């Protein structure tokens, strides 16, 4: 029953996902028609089109989808964990820590391998820092976690500003792209696919408990949910998803805040539906945004984070208005 | 027969202050207990301790003969249900989705909703006159409707022991009498039991056959309704003169 009720939405999401992938594979400086695309996919030949498709566009599309999916998923979890509709994947300072790692790597002139590792390390450090401070005196409350995260975020913000103001103009350009979120250097591998799979299966396993937790910790406890274990799981899961996403693409804004709300407004409030659907919508949203980022002012590229805000803000307002009048 | 709830020499503290000293209480099936006392006397703390949200480190609380502190959460939730004072409307959700959550301690499948669970939830909605509101968002409801949704969720949970914290909050007199009357019938059908914290002495007098009256300094009185709800006891407990009059088969208590 729960599935059939949302089949329409699922159909819509599948179409959006397919269309976004198609758009992404077809857009770019090298012209590629739909027929050529199909030809290259099924009868690969060693030509320019082959390289453009298999070495540039497909990896980038996958990277965009993975990043968007992880961010939306993390947003859903953070909003339930903190029971705050304003929560997003970055609210607890993970992107700040990651940014300090990445910007330091840029400052030191390290290659993209080390940049990614530095970004991930920074995120991990921030995750444990926030958890350690919030948890120091025994039981951690949501308010305590939120306050700690916000304060640590502010601290990272200051460090980021120091790095930006003391760096050379060249570096500042790359730093700004990283901070706004950029997919031009991004790659994903099998491990990212596995992470998404584990996220979906694990998410479905705890989805009912999330439904209860959304009603508050007292209610959830009284209905038999082991809050302490669940909170721990949610904090670390959402954190790892965020850390992975920012390591792939920098801190792309907006996806993690808006996609969960958009889906809730479209009726997918049950986490058995919301978690998997958020991956589809978050992923395809970022794929579309990235296609536009590559083509809007071609040959120059925009940071994808700018585009997510440009499309995200009006579409969110439209959904908000159309659901409020009901 | 073993009592549903058995409390032995329980002492409840907040920081260093003793709220209730050496409480002994046995609630059997088919019994309805009222929990009365001044603001801050420890009514909510006691309910939260029974359900395992608040820890206790003296005495013992047993549900069906098993110590609460060692019970698995899911087991406890299938036996004991509580109506909280606080709301249930933090993130958006519809009336039906919310009431269905009451089945959480009982559900088997990770993904699918059992048609029997859906039927139980629909039955609870009908019982509380909420049919027709299934698809409404919780945050668009009035205070009284929300309280009825919370009660429907509790009924859907089908516990053996019902704990109610200020059930009459937001309810008009008609709803108070109707809903508590419904709950009363429900409890006797299921041979369940009830412990209800309230400020409304008359509501407790009407629906509860036994009373725990929390006094000052951690003392308490407990026993049958008529024995406990006397002018003398109530005046002492509330630190304010309380008078009682009898009319048309009811005894009414009022501050004087």
Q: Which residues of chain A have pLDDT under 50?
A: 1, 325-326
Helix (H, G, I), strand (E, B) or coil at B108: coil
Among A218, A223, A226, beta carbon nearest to B105: A223
Best of A219, A260, A271, A326 to disrupt the B interface (most B CBs within 10 Å) is A219
Which carries the bigger pLDDT value, residue B107 or residue A151?
Answer: A151
* Rounded-to-integer distance, Cα A130 and Cα B210, Å: 49
Question: What are the pLDDT digits (tens) for B30-78?
Answer: 999 999 999 989 999 999 999 988 888 889 999 988 999 898 888 999 9
**CB within 8 Å: B91 and A83:** yes
Out of A85, A223, A226, the one facing B101 most closely (by C-beta) is: A223
CATH at B195: 3.40.50.300
pLDDT of B29 higher than 50: yes
Q: Is A171 helix (H, G, I), strand (E, B) or coil?
A: helix
Residue range A2-18+60-324 forms a domain whose CATH class is: mainly alpha
- Contact call for B110 and A212, based on CB within 8 A: no
Q: Provide the domain count of chain B.
A: 1
Q: What is the pLDDT of residue B35?
A: 96
What is the percentage of chain B residues whose pLDDT exceeds 70?
A: 98
pLDDT value for B149: 92
Residues of A in contact with B93 (CB under 8 A): 214-215, 269
Q: Which residues of A65-91 are buried (b: 16+ CB within 10 A; e: fewer)?
A: bbbbbbbbbbbbbbbbbbbbeebbbbb
Residue B89: predicted pLDDT: 63
**B111: chain A residues, CB-CB within 8 Å:** 2-3, 204, 207, 272
Complex ipTM, two decimals?
A: 0.89
What are the E-state strand segments in chain B? 5-14, 17-27, 32-36, 60-63, 66-67, 80-83, 161-165, 193-197, 210-214, 220-224, 242-247, 250-255
- Residue A92 CB partners (closer than 8 Å, separation 6+): A78, A126, A127, A130, A145, A146, A148, A149, A150, A152, A153, A239
Which pLDDT value is given to residue A1? 45
* Domain assignment of residue B153, given as a range: 5-255
Q: What is the pLDDT of residues A18-77, one digit of tens each?
A: 999 999 988 877 777 777 777 777 766 667 777 788 888 899 999 999 999 999 999 999
Give the pLDDT score at A325. Answer: 45
Which residues are CB-contacts of B161 (< 8 A; sequence separation ≥ 6)? B4, B5, B27, B63, B79, B80, B81, B192, B193, B194, B195
Q: Which DSSP state fits A23?
A: H
A218 and B86 within 8 Å at the Cβ level: the answer is: yes
User: Using 50, 70 and 90 to split pLDDT, how confident is the model at B88?
Assistant: low
What residue of A is the nearest CA neighbor of B158? A223
Give the per-residue pLDDT at A326. Answer: 42
Is the Cβ pair A269, B77 closer than 8 Å? no
> With 60 as the cut, is the pLDDT of residue B143 above it?
yes
């Amino acid at each position: 029953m729960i599935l059939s009720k949302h089949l329409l939405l699922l159909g819509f999401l599948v179409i959006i996902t397919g269309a976004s992938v198609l758009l992404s594979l077809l857009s770019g400086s090298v012209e590629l028609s739909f027929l050529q695309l199909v030809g290259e996919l099924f009868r690969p030949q060693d030509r320019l089109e082959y390289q453009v498709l298999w070495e540039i566009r497909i990896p980038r599309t996958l990277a965009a989808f993975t990043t968007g999916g992880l961010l939306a998923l993390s947003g859903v979890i953070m909003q339930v964990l903190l029971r705050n509709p304003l929560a997003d994947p970055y609210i607890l300072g993970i992107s700040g820590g990651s940014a300090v790692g990445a910007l330091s790597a840029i400052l030191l002139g390290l290659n993209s391998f080390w940049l990614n590792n530095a970004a991930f390390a920074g995120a991990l450090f921030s995750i444990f820092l926030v958890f350690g401070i919030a948890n120091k005196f025994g039981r951690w409350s949501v308010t305590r976690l939120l306050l700690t995260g916000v304060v640590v975020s502010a601290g990272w913000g200051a460090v980021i500003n120091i790095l930006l103001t003391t760096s050379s103009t060249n570096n500042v350009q790359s730093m700004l792209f990283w901070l706004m979120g950029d997919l031009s250097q991004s790659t994903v591998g099998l491990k990212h696919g596995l992470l998404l799979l584990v996220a979906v299966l694990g998410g479905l396993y705890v989805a009912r408990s999330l439904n209860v937790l959304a009603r508050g910790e007292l209610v959830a406890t009284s209905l038999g949910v082991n809050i302490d274990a669940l909170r721990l799981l949610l904090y670390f899961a959402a954190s790892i998803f965020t850390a992975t996403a920012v390591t792939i693409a920098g801190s792309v804004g907006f996806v993690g805040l808006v996609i969960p709300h958009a889906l809730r407004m479209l009726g997918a409030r049950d986490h058995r539906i919301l978690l998997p659907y958020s991956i589809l919508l978050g992923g395809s949203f970022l794929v579309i945004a990235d296609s536009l980022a590559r083509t809007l002012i071609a040959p120059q590229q925009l940071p994808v984070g700018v585009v997510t805000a440009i499309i995200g803000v009006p579409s969110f307002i439209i959904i908000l208005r159309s659901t409020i009048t009901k | 027969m073993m009592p549903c709830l058995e409390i032995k020499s329980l002492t409840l503290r907040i920081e260093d202050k003793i709220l209730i000293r050496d409480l002994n209480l046995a609630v059997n099936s088919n019994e309805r207990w009222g929990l009365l006392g001044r603001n801050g006397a420890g009514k909510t703390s006691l309910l939260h301790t029974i359900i395992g949200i608040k820890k206790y480190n003296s005495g013992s609380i047993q549900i069906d003969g098993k110590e609460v502190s060692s019970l698995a959460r899911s087991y406890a939730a299938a036996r004991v249900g509580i109506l909280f004072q606080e709301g249930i409307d933090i993130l958006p959700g519809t009336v039906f989705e919310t009431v269905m959550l009451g089945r959480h301690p009982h559900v088997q499948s990770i993904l699918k909703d059992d048609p029997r669970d859906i039927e139980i939830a629909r039955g609870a909605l009908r019982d509380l006159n909420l049919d027709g509101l299934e698809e409404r968002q919780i945050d668009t409801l009035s205070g009284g409707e929300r309280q009825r949704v919370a009660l429907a969720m509790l009924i859907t949970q089908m516990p053996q022991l019902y704990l109610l914290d200020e059930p009459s909050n937001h309810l008009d007199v008609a709803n108070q009498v109707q809903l508590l009357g419904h709950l009363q019938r429900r409890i006797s059908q299921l041979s369940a039991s009830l412990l209800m914290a309230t400020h409304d002495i008359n509501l407790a007098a009407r629906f509860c056959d036994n009373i725990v009256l929390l006094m000052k300094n951690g003392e308490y009185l407990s026993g049958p309704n008529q024995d406990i709800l006397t002018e003398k006891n109530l005046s002492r407990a509330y630190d304010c003169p309380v008078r009682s009059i009898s009319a048309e088969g009811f005894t009414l208590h009022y501050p004087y």
